[in-house]
Chains A and B, each alone.
Chain A
Amino acid sequence: MSVTAQVPVEKLTVKKSIANSSVLRVLRFSLKRLLTLFVTVVIGIYLTILIANMGGFVDEIIKGQIRDTVTQRVANNPNALQMEPELRKKLIEDQIALEEKRRGLNTPIAVRNFRYLSNALQLDLGRAINLTSDSGSKQVRLILLERLPATLLLMGTSQLFLFFSSIFIALSLSRKYGSFWDKLVIALSPTSAVPPWFYGIFLILIFSAALKILPFGGMVDSPPPPNTFDYSMSVLKHLTLPCLALILSSFFLSVYNYRTFFLIYSSEDYVDMAKAKGLPARDIERTYILRPTLPTIITNFSLLIITLWTGALFTETVFLWPGLGRTLFQAIGQYDTPIIVGSSIIFAYMLAMTVFLLDFVYALVDPRVKIGG
């Protein structure tokens, strides 16, 4: 994307025109890419909204709930009991209409879908229908922000550990491939077909039910310990099992994939050449094997960062971990469209941004890649 800095003076004019065309090319590419990605996000979010509304059926459910609660409230009101039946009926209908207007149910669903869409795209996430944050707020933004630390803690610990440990182990395995440990990892790699929550059940059975040394679920003891040290120890205890489940379920496959990947690159001719020159193994690894694999590693890392923010829906549900994944599940169960749309839009934006940035990162780390070329 950028042009080399040291250019002889006589070639300045040439450089300028190259620079111009490069900048233009990059700009044109960026604009086109941003536009397509934006359209993709818009369509994706619109589809999500359509499904989350069930084409209006969710409205009927919510209207039913409103009718129920309003009728109950009026029936429990001693003043309303003395009213004329006609008048009471009118009161109920008025209150229902008011409540429906408050929730915006009186506007047609098609209009509301577009309003949802444009609000979501501007990251104005609005208010939740049923769920509230622990501090009592109905703001979707606050609800999601409140659950975010839990998810970041769980996913961050497990995924970062998984990423770095598997690259490190894969490198050392690829150095001695064919060894016992290498064969063990190959043999165990199909175990990653089992999802983390499933390992979670076994871990709960062993460590919580049978050995009784770790808690069954949740994030802290109840009531939470007052001082910070005890509190963090309690969180750590609760974190162990879900974290272990997440790591176990992808560890072997991840190591196997990286190992095979490194092996393919270390069988290149230039690596043999470097070995023949007598370069130390560390240098060969760093400059001849890791360097060309960098784009893939970066891609994996950036996708990992996205998964950090989405949480692990099933694992969080099984371990009762109060993170974003479980919130999404609860929101779906309570027909809470704003929360579903809110968490989808954040995911969509992050994915689009990552995809967009990755093109530039590739060009930065790999001289063979040219943007928009």
Chain B
Amino acid sequence: MNNLRSSLSKLFQYPSAVAGIFVVLALIVVAAYAMITIPYSEAIRLWRGGEEVWYQNPRFAAPAWINYFSNQKYSESFAVNTTDGQVTKTVTPGSEGVSTIDMSYEFDYSYDVYPQELILYLKAAYNEKQPFVSVELLTPDNRTIRIGNFSVGNEFTYRFSQDEKLRTKLRTEEVIPALFSLPDSNQPLKGKYTLIIQGTTFEPDSDLSVEFVSHGQVFGWAGTDHARRDLVLPLLWGVPVALAFGLIASMGTSILTMIIAAVGAWYTGWVDELIQRITEVNLVLPFYALLIMIGTFYSRSIWVILGATIILSIFTGSIKAYRAIFIQVKESMYIEAAKAYGASSPRIIFLYLIPRMIPLLIPSLVQSVPAFVFLEASLAVIGLGDPVLPTWGKIIQDANSNGALYKGYYYWVLEPAMLLMITGLAFAFLGFALDRVFNPKLRDV
């Protein structure tokens, strides 16, 4: 116990180790948060969801915080509707079942870059006569732009930029910039805009509801990808996936390697010989090619890849290194003593040999985590990621295959890459410090 405490205090002398511990703990907290707030099934539903889940989001939108660092302000996205009361709605009943429904939404527009698109999703309840709607936009300089009139079926979607009539009326090719600037100018007009929707229903229990969506140039904390998905989801869920893959793979590999090396060194003879031969065969096998083959031919499930990774990583050079040390340890007095009191072979292996090696095991375990975290990302980047799970590697692959760097969507690559880098380096720095603490031979040099 004292030993452990002194090791820990030595460890805390390394600033990089302290930073590493801090980052690893933070990652664990984020992983727990992600798994609690977005349950697994929900995460997968959202990640695999298409237009019906993500219609409110713009495509290829950078994160909203870039506005703080940019001279040009990019318009933010929003989605409001009548159900949650953000769009005010007043119903005025008239005679013969005809009633007017006034809906309006006032919003602040103070951006330099116009939104990608404005969309109205209208829903109507009626028996025979479709409700009628007219839409206007009130600008800060008190102009009223008539957007259009239309009768609404059960569901009706109106996209501002697609409207031929509006284009002709505004005498422009691009509807959205024309709406948000003074006539005959290219400068955006900042201020309060009000969208006014006047509906008329012709039946007593007929009703209208509206959702107003602006696909801006920036979105949320992390931006969106080509499928309108909010990148917060895969970035958050990437944490538990990366941690699980890295930790399970490194623990499985290190512990199994150690046990097998101990068994070989203890029993010697054909057991040892067999382990040696398997190790040599494994060194001949092309590691990455085998993993890619397994990913391509058998299954891209992350658990299959994880299992294959562990199996292929057990019989490597480290088994020989451990074996050499075990053969030395085997001759120690305390092993003799254990043999003398009649301890069984498994007892000696698990209670006497292996515990002796834990100081060696811990640093190598922590140090091998980044390799596995990056392995999962590497496979995902060349298109062999788990088809279901949202991971960091998948984001980079999506970005790469959509030419993100070429088209300038840097956030799309940088966000997952930074997270991968932070995770990998945290474990690497911690493991490096642990190595120097637990292997005193290294500490002096």
Chain A contact residues, CB within 8 Å of chain B: 36-37, 40-41, 43-45, 47-48, 51-52, 54, 57-58, 177, 187, 189-195, 197-198, 201-202, 204-205, 208-210, 216, 260, 263-264, 267, 310, 313-314, 317-318, 328-329, 332-333, 335, 340, 343-344, 347-348, 351-352
Contact = CB atoms under 8 A, between A and B. Distances in A.
A37 B406 CA distance: 48
A47 B286 CA distance: 11
Q: Which of A48, A58, A195, A317 has the most CB of B within 10 A?
A: A195
Interface string B287-310: 011101110111000000000000
B22 to A, nearest CB: 15
Contact of B286 (A41, A48, A263): A48
Interface stretch (B77-85, B151-159, B192-200, B426-434): B426-434
B284 A260 contact: no
A191 B425 contact: yes
A40 B286 contact: no
B424 interface: yes
A190 B417 contact: no
A263 B442 CA distance: 10
Contact of B410 (A198, A209, A263, A310): A209
A209 B421 CA distance: 20
B67 interface: no
B238 to A, nearest CB: 15
B413 interface: yes
B288 A344 contact: no
A332 B289 contact: yes
A41 B286 CA distance: 12
A313 B288 CA distance: 8
Chain A to chain B: the 8 pairs with minimum beta-carbon distance, closest first: A44-B284, A190-B428, A193-B370, A193-B428, A263-B445, A209-B405, A54-B297, A348-B284
Nearest to A349: B284
Contact of B413 (A195, A205, A314): A205
Interface of B: 16, 277, 280-286, 288-290, 292-294, 296-298, 367, 370-371, 374, 377-378, 381-382, 396, 400, 405-406, 408, 410, 413-414, 417, 420-421, 424-425, 427-429, 431-432, 441-442, 445
A51 B424 contact: no
A260 B445 CA distance: 6
Given A54-B297, A58-B297, A208-B405, A193 B424 contact: yes
Contact of A193 (B281, B374, B377, B417): B374
Given A43-B281, A44-B281, A57-B297, A201 B445 contact: no
15 contacts: A36-B277, A40-B277, A41-B284, A44-B284, A193-B370, A194-B374, A195-B374, A195-B378, A205-B414, A263-B445, A267-B445, A314-B378, A344-B286, A344-B289, A352-B284
For chain A, what secondary structure do more than half of its interface residues adopt (helix, strand, loop), or is it mixed? helix
Contacts of B406: 209, 216
Pick from A48, A194, A263 the residue with the most CB of B within 10 Å: A194
A344 B428 CA distance: 31
A190 B377 CA distance: 18
A314 B382 contact: yes
A198 B417 contact: yes
Contacts of A263: 445
A190 to B, nearest CB: 4
Contacts of A210: 410
Given A264-B445, A328-B289, 5 more contacts: A37-B280, A51-B294, A190-B432, A216-B405, A317-B382
Contact of A351 (B284, B290, B413): B284
A329 B293 contact: no
Given A40-B280, A201-B413, A51 B381 contact: no
Specify which of A47, A209, A264 lies most central, judged by the most chain B CB atoms within 10 Å of its CB. A209
Contacts of A310: 286
Contacts of A189: 432
B427 A193 contact: yes
Contacts of A41: 284
Contacts of A208: 405
